[in-house]
Structure 1
Amino acid sequence: MVAVGIEAMNHYGGSAYLDVLELAHYRQLDTARFDNLLMKQKTVAMPFEDPVTFGINAAKPIIDALSEAEKDRIELLICCSESGIDFGKSMSTYMHYYLGLNRNCRMFELKQACYSGTAGLQMAVNFILAQTSPGAKALVVATDISRFLVAEGGDALTMDWSFTEPSGGAGAVALLVSEQPDIFQIDVGANGYYGYEVMDTCRPIPDSEAGNADLSLLSYLDCCEQAFLQYQQRVADVDYRTSFNYLSFHTPFGGMVKGAHRQMMRKIAKAGRDDIEQDFMQRVMPGLSYCQRVGNIMGATVLLSLAGSIDYGDINSPKRIGCFSYGSGCCSEFYSGVVTPSGQKKLGTMAIASHLDNRYRLSMPEYETLLAGSEQVKFGTRNAVIDTELLPGVWQTNQNATLKEGKARIYLREIKEFYRQYEWVA
């Protein structure tokens, strides 16, 4: 059997962010409850940013590092998102064009709430393992933008605004999957998946969300336990506490992950309170590092947690990372893989933390301006010319960051008869 996994990986976290503690004070939220979120910042999408630009900007540095021959071996492009911009046309077509990929390439878009990124990764892994095209590569792009327009008309499903606003983010993670798993080698066959029908959260119309936060938490906890138990049945001698050097979770917010890990340590590992806290800091916190600065980016979040575990973990020898992915509705999976010191070094060349440092910090009045203008670009927009100068400081910071990082960025320039037109800033 060939080796398979992530050859290259990158995250793009946008042009601007909001300090979520400042948001909590501004909204007069219960700060005691807010502390449990374990959030620091959230990416806020600008009018010139959409899921397509986030995805392309995440993938571009990966593609630029390839030779033309390597680039031409990308034969599968999967876009994973619940923030689609068209019921029929896949966002992957835009990504394929602007990344300059070979036309002999399968491309499509898939959706399964926050599980979509893992679904795309596992589909790509199996494409490589099938060996129907030896040496081929797959590009998986998980990209999402949070919505803050709440579906109205009943009380069965209502989103807690104070809960979702501080944690909802925007961004993308791009993965190059191949027979050269330089960054993360998948443990083939080591998968536990678990799912059932539950109405915890949903998007009943394109630009709004509805949900039951308590039900979602209970479903997440149930799936975390049951997916791991199936993993344990399939893999011999697995121990939740000792088999994984690090753990990467889908992270709606850090406090939810902490609760899930606490339950697993109590029920599965039979650990006490002090041991649980120490273990959380050692094995889980590295994976929260980026998530705390970006927010929940749905299908890409568990992959962002994986990037954090690799970048901030002590990878002085091969280390195994366990990953838990959850998507409302619901489907979940526990899987694992191995990262090496050279893999950590390779991911480090993407300088994800530096990119996040270079974002513009929004003031609350600027943030409110963006919320007020969020109707300009949404699902089904037919015609719009994007005002890049709505907040001049953000656009200038975006240009400065592009020069500083030496990485071209793409932005949404115009929508003309539904067709989205993008332009590079180099």
Structure 2
Amino acid sequence: MTPVGIEAMNLYGGSTFVDVMELAAYRQLDTARFDNLLMKHKSVALPYEDPVSFAINAAKPVIDQLSDAEKDRIELLITCSESGIDFGKSMSTYIHHYLGLNRNCRLFELKQACYSGTAGLQMAVNFILSQVSPGAKALVIATDLSRFLVTEDGDALTMDWAFFEPSGGAGAVALLVSEKPEIFQLDVGANGYYSFEVFDTCRPIPDSEAGNADLSLLSYLDCCDQSFQEYQKRVTGTDYRTTFQYLCFHTPFGGMVKGAHRNMMRKHTDIKRDEINQDFHQRVQPGLTYCQRVGNIMGATVLVSLASTIEQGVFDVPKRIGCFSYGSGCCSEFYSGVAMASGQQKLKAMQLEKNLDSRYQLSMGEYETLLEGSNEVKFGTRNVVPNTGLLPGVWQSIIDNTTGKGTKRIFLKEIKEFYRQYEWVG
């Protein structure tokens, strides 16, 4: 069978972030509660950043490593997001244009809450496996940002802003999927999926979110268990503790993943509490490292966890990684693949950690200014020129991190009669 998986990948975590504990203290909230979230930072989108710019900035370093001939073999471009900018026009069209991809390319957009990134990956994998175009590549980009307010009407579907604010992030992950799975080789056919109707979270209007946090947690736990059980049925001899050397999860916040893993260990193994904690730190914690620094970026989050696992893990021999993806509403999947030392080195060359380190840390005053000023760019905005002078120190840090360093980044320049125009910096 044709090998298939991720040939290259990159994480883009935006330009700015806030410290979660500093935010909790500023909001005069119980900081002990935030310890349980297992969150450190959250990326924050600027007025001149949007899902398109995030996606292009994630994909460009991947594309730049390809020869012209390799670049021309990208025959499928899938954008995965719940932060779309148009009811009809796909963000993929903008991305395709600014990356300079071959026009002989299928492109479209997928939406299924936080499951969308996995949906795009699996669709790309099956395109490659079909061999309708041997040697073709697919570019999958999951991109999302939390630049919306919570709905204030009603009780049952009002998100807890004190809980949601520190976990909602911004960013994108780009995957190049091909017959050369140098980063992560998928186990073909090793998929357990489980879905049903549940109204746990939704976006009833473009820039707002509503939901029931308790119901969402219960649905997440149920799907984790049931999708794994379906995986077990399809892959004979699967054992939750021994089959996978690492596990990565969709990570709304780290504490939720820790609870899910504990629940799975109790149901599928007979080991004691101390051993469960040890297992969590050994097999799951590596996948939380970058999630704790970016926050929940919806469809991309399980892919952030995968990148973090591959970079932070020990791959002295090839090791299998089990992945759990969940999207509210709901759709879930448990799947797996193998990573090795050569892929880890290739991913480390993308300097994901260095790029996260280079972001500008917002003070609480700057963060509040940003919250007030970010409303100028909304879904359906017809005409606007985003204000790069809103936070001069932030824009200067972007100039300093790009100019003369051989690394261009793109930002939203203007929306004119709904059409978005972008500009490279650096």
The TM-score with structure 1 as length reference comes to: 0.99
Equivalent residues in 2 for 1:352-367, closer than 5 Å:
352-367=352-367
Is the contact between residue 224 and residue 332 of structure 2 (CA under 8 Å) also seen in structure 1?
A: yes
Could you give the per-residue CA deviations for residues 165-218 of structure 1, whole angstroms, max 9, x where no partner exists? 000000000000000000000000000000100000000000000000000000
Is the contact between residue 23 and residue 364 of structure 2 (CA under 8 Å) also seen in structure 1?
A: yes
Equivalent residues in 2 for 1:318-397, closer than 5 Å:
318-397=318-397
Q: Any unmatched runs of 5+ in structure 2?
A: none
Distance 1:119 1:425 in 2: 32
Equivalent residues in 2 for 1:166-205, closer than 5 Å:
166-205=166-205
Distance 2:362 2:31 in 1: 20
The residue aligned with 1:414 is 414
The residue aligned with 1:291 is 291
Distance 1:92 1:15 in 2: 22
Given the superposition, is the C-alpha separation of residues 161 and 239 from structure 1 closer, same or farther in structure 2, using an over 3 Å criterion? same
Could you give the per-residue CA deviations for residues 320-340 of structure 1, whole angstroms, max 9, x where no partner exists? 100000000000000000001
The 3-state SS of whatever aligns with 2:57 is helix
Amino acid of the structure 2 residue aligned with 1:274: D
The residue aligned with 2:93 is 93
The 3-state SS of whatever aligns with 1:209 is strand
Is the contact between residue 373 and residue 390 of structure 2 (CA under 8 Å) also seen in structure 1?
A: no
Equivalent residues in 2 for 1:247-258, closer than 5 Å:
247-258=247-258
Distance 1:387 1:374 in 2: 9
Distance 2:98 2:147 in 1: 25
The residue aligned with 1:54 is 54
Q: Count matched residues.
A: 426
Aligned-residue Cα RMSD (Å) equals: 0.8
Question: Aligned-pair distance for 1:388?
Answer: 1.0
Question: Aligned-pair distance for 1:29?
Answer: 1.1
Identity within the alignment, %: 77
The 3-state SS of whatever aligns with 2:374 is coil
Distance 1:67 1:98 in 2: 17
Question: Aligned-pair distance for 1:405?
Answer: 5.6
The 3-state SS of whatever aligns with 2:390 is coil
The 3-state SS of whatever aligns with 1:175 is strand
The residue aligned with 2:141 is 141
The residue aligned with 1:15 is 15
Structure 1 stretch 287-296 or stretch 367-376: which is displaced more?
A: 367-376
Is the contact between residue 355 and residue 405 of structure 1 (CA under 8 Å) also seen in structure 2?
A: no
Given the superposition, is the C-alpha separation of residues 279 and 140 from structure 1 closer, same or farther in structure 2, using an over 3 Å criterion? same
Question: Aligned-pair distance for 1:33?
Answer: 1.2
Is the contact between residue 245 and residue 321 of structure 2 (CA under 8 Å) also seen in structure 1?
A: yes
Question: Aligned-pair distance for 1:399?
Answer: 1.7
Is the contact between residue 147 and residue 209 of structure 1 (CA under 8 Å) also seen in structure 2?
A: no
Distance 2:294 2:153 in 1: 31
Distance 1:372 1:142 in 2: 27
Amino acid of the structure 2 residue aligned with 1:258: K
The 3-state SS of whatever aligns with 1:401 is helix
Question: Aligned-pair distance for 1:148?
Answer: 3.6
Distance 2:29 2:325 in 1: 29
Could you give the per-residue CA deviations for residues 265-320 of structure 1, whole angstroms, max 9, x where no partner exists? 01111221001000000000000000000000000000000000000001111011
Does residue 237 in structure 1 map to residue 268 in structure 2? no
The 3-state SS of whatever aligns with 1:367 is helix
The TM-score with structure 2 as length reference comes to: 0.99
